[in-house]
Structure 1
């Protein structure tokens, strides 16, 4: 359990080499948690309002996505902050493209994506998007990003080099697409869908066609694909479960297990070597005096209790 007067969070990112879990805790900044010794290593300086962390080991850099439209750049090897740089007016998350070496920062309130050079930290351009809910994003390894538009029931294919949308596909049978992962070998996009019928949608990355859908829990915010194990993980905060599917081939999926987690543990990180899954959550309440996000759940917490923030670890069966 981690201390904090007003727990809040969004995404988690794992550095599997060092065993560090980077947790975007918004007002509390980025907490670095050692998953091997189960202790806090440090808080990244000048990372207040951070909701996500993007790691770029080849440049020994880490970048945060801060709500005020800035990024805190730090050295991955020492965790020392280098600078806090403004690139826009808001930011939700960020995603690294390994081909162009650019980071795409999603800016829902501004209806656009800001691109930043991951080596220098300098702005590289932007792209306007007709959406306020720019959600999960995954690189295809060929210079493109697949991005979910939760309020448009669509997935975009974005050419990062040209900063242009090259395809837009409707997510038929998938309402409120949120988390995304990609299978490069099978050319399949995995999309977590939050709608009235929560499902994992499997899309053809060439045509954009939805091949199949598979039941998951409510409140999805994370999808991870393990190419080695050929397994798809979905973290679902409202139903408090981790629903996992085995991939038999590109178009065939069977339920592996549905493990109970904790309420509102909605984002996750997978260690590709140990196969452990890390999630975070806190105890909260839906205070009727404050606005409740009923689009997620009728009693979705809008206030969390002090000193209840928790890191959860799930290991595979022996």
Structure 2
């Protein structure tokens, strides 16, 4: 942990550390229930739908009412979901099945299944290329397939354990965190080739990744710090403290706020005062286990999945108490 004890105490208490508060608070809880864990969530402001990965299925909820409107079953170890609104299609990353399921967004019916590399984690739809990319966590590769036909176009060998990824369509680049190497890999979306691997100084175990397109900044969530990296050169620009155990982050270009969600039960919010300076303005108490999140740039809401968990007596991964999973909706007051 590269963070002072005093700051950790403030973060855990859910209090403002310094600066002007942004006024975010938990305004709603969307009950998911069921059994098993989760990873990514995705909100679609246009359709008011929330897609929640949950063990072997995607649970679909209505963002305004919290009502469950459907499920996408048979997605073992599902990590994430990507949507192609103009195609009316959605895509899952099934970690235990080494596959991606293609579904109709209106009916949630299955249209097909695509084989991927080992343990697909993050998944992205590239609208400019009509391609879907799965970032295979243990496979160290990226599976690229056509969003309409489902045909695999290529497999990009990156190496390492791959985590979250973002796209800069204007530069024809995709950036992905390589967790075990403390680095960001850069891929050309036209040639499907790896063009750079940037070690991120002071970054241990990068997981979540967000993008400030206006200032060409990659915001990578490390253990205890968020590091801003120049997306053109790979150089570290600045960093700021966050809680440990972060596995989800986001950047809101309209407000200049960066968010990082921690499994310790803290959502850290920082303001981009300048491209080379971020100030933590607020911390919001969520719930232990809330390590991932999704920022909706349209509504400015943050969705944080949580549940009651217990540690086995002999250690190991925390177990989710059945029926307790929910999604916290965090919004400006």
Per the TM superposition, whether the score is higher than 0.5 is yes
Q: Distance in 1 between matches of 2:261 and 2:216?
A: 22
Q: Distance in 2 between matches of 1:269 and 1:155?
A: 21
Within the candidate set 1, 26, 49, 2:77 is matched to 49
Within the candidate set 202, 214, 224, 2:240 is matched to 214
Q: Distance in 2 between matches of 1:272 and 1:109?
A: 30
2:213 is matched with which residue?
184
1:229 is matched with which residue?
255
The answer to whether residue 320 in structure 2 is matched with residue 292 in structure 1 is no
- Relative to the length of structure 1, the TM-score reads 0.90
Q: Cα 1:124–1:268, aligned 2, differ >3 Å: closer, same or farther?
A: same
**Matches of residues 1-318 of structure 1 in structure 2 within 5 Å?**
1-4=31-34, 6-27=35-56, 29-67=57-95, 68-131=97-160, 133-142=161-170, 143-194=172-223, 198-237=224-263, 239-289=264-314, 292-293=316-317, 301=318, 303-317=319-333
Q: Which whole-Å deviations, capped at 9, do the CAs of 1:103-137 have from their partners, x for residues lacking one?
A: 22111222211111123221110011220x20111
Q: Distance in 1 between matches of 2:79 and 2:164?
A: 13
Deviation at 1:285, TM superposition (A): 1.2
Q: In terms of mean alpha carbon deviation, does 218-227 or 83-92 score higher?
A: 83-92
Q: Distance in 1 between matches of 2:198 and 2:119?
A: 26
1:296 is matched with which residue?
none
Deviation at 1:89, TM superposition (A): 4.3
Q: Which whole-Å deviations, capped at 9, do the CAs of 1:204-244 have from their partners, x for residues lacking one?
A: 1111111111000111111111111111111111x211111
- The higher-RCO structure (CA 8 Å, 6+ apart) is 2
Tell me, which stretches of 5 or more residues in structure 2 are unaligned?
A: 1-30
Measured on the aligned residues, the alpha-carbon RMSD in Å equals 1.5
